[in-house]
Amino acid sequence: MKILIIESESYLAQSIANKLGALGHECTNAASLAAAAALAEEFEAVLLSTSWSGASFYPLIEKFRRSIIILMVAYVDSETVLNPVKAGATDYIQKPFMIEELIKKIEHYAQFRSLKSQNEAYEALLKEISLSCEIPPARLAQIKFPLLLRGDAAARAAAVFKIALALKSRLKILSAQSPEPLERGAEIFYAPDFDSLSGAQKEKFISKTKSMRVIAGSIGAQKGFSDEITLGSSKERSEILSIEEYVKLTIVAHQDEYFDSDLAAALGISRKSLWEKRKKYGIARKK
pLDDT tens digits for 218-233? 988 889 999 999 987 5
The whole-chain average pLDDT of the chain stands at 88
Of 96, 121, 146, which residue constitutes the final position of a domain?
Answer: 121
25 and 69 share a domain? yes
Distance, CA of 199 to CA of 152 (rounded, Å): 20
11 and 110 share a domain? yes
Share of the chain above pLDDT 90, in %: 51
CATH number of the domain bearing residue 257: 1.10.10
Burial of 277 (0-12, 13-18, 19+ CB in 10 A): middle
Bigger pLDDT: 93 or 231? Answer: 93
Average pLDDT over residues 68-89: 95
pLDDT per residue over 248-270, tens digit each?
A: 877 876 776 677 887 887 777 88
Task: Give, in degrees to the nearest 5, the angle at Cα 146 between 125 and 163.
Answer: 25
Range of the domain at 248: 241-287
